[in-house]
Chains A and B, each alone.
Chain A
Amino acid sequence: AQTVTQSQPEMSVQEAETVTLSCTYDTSESDYYLFWYKQPPSRQMILVIRQEAYKQQNATENRFSVNFQKAAKSFSLKISDSQLGDAAMYFCAYRARPNNAGNMLTFGGGTRLMVKP
């Protein structure tokens, strides 16, 4: 079974600074997707960024980028120029490439990010 681990329950960053959130996962699959979701106090789960395992290039979305290390099964999220609105819970999630085995997301336990003005 796949597992996703986020070892940092809480992180804090100064506004305008850069912060990196860690995520590791365990799988025997060779092809899969990894995601970061943001959950602000409103509870809405918002997709931040997606990475396909077969792509060597790290995904980037504006101030958000990932460091995907497939051999190490590591998938960290870097937030540059942190803003107050980035304060939220961040969840790392894994999904095997869709096939007959299913289409389920496995989530990590989350990291609460606080942004200091």
Chain B
Amino acid sequence: DAGVIQSPRHEVTEMGQEVTLRCKPISGHDYLFWYRQTMMRGLELLIYFNNNVPIDDSGMPEDRFSAKMPNASFSTLKIQPSEPRDSAVYFCASSFRGLAGGHEQYFGPGTRLTVT
């Protein structure tokens, strides 16, 4: 399997612009997570989905952030309008609730977002 795929790997945009980050989870995984990593706040969970349904979005910082999962193989995280404080590395992760209940989360390579 190719693992979790994220695109783009790097994104540089100007303040006020819309940014869309993309994620393809591992095939067969039924959970998908979006995290943000910054020096100041470390790794924060933004939102997660189970079977394409958002379960907990309490980590989404504000209304400028939105996430969707239209099908089992694709999710987007959108920031509109973007601000310099949104600069961070955004990770997507997926996991599978198998019989063993292990639920290891497998992470994508991340998208480094810079908002100028």
Consensus secondary structure, chain A interface: loop
Q: Which of B42, B56, B102, B109 contacts A44 (CB 8 A)?
A: B109
Verify if B87 is at the interface (C-beta below 8 Å from A).
Answer: no
Q: Which of A67-75, A77-85, A96-104 contacts B (4 or more CB under 8 A)?
A: A96-104
Verify if A94 is at the interface (C-beta below 8 Å from B).
Answer: no
Enumerate chain B interface residues (CB-CB to A < 8 A).
Answer: 31, 33, 42-43, 45, 48, 50, 55-56, 89, 91, 93, 95, 97, 101-107, 109-110, 112
Q: Which of A47, A50, A95, A109 contacts B106 (CB 8 A)?
A: A47
Complex CA–CA separation, A98 to B43 (angstroms): 20
The answer on a CB contact under 8 Å between A103 and B95 is yes
A43 and B109 contact, Cβ closer than 8 Å, known pairs A95-B103, A103-B103: yes
A107 and B101 contact, Cβ closer than 8 Å, known pairs A44-B109, A45-B91, A45-B93: no
Complex CA–CA separation, A108 to B112 (angstroms): 21
Q: Hey, which chain A residues are within 8 Å of B110, CB to CB? A: 43-45
Enumerate chain A interface residues (CB-CB to B < 8 A).
Answer: 33, 35, 37, 42-47, 50, 91, 95, 97-98, 102-105, 107-110
Nearest-Cβ distance from residue B53 to partner chain A, whole angstroms = 13
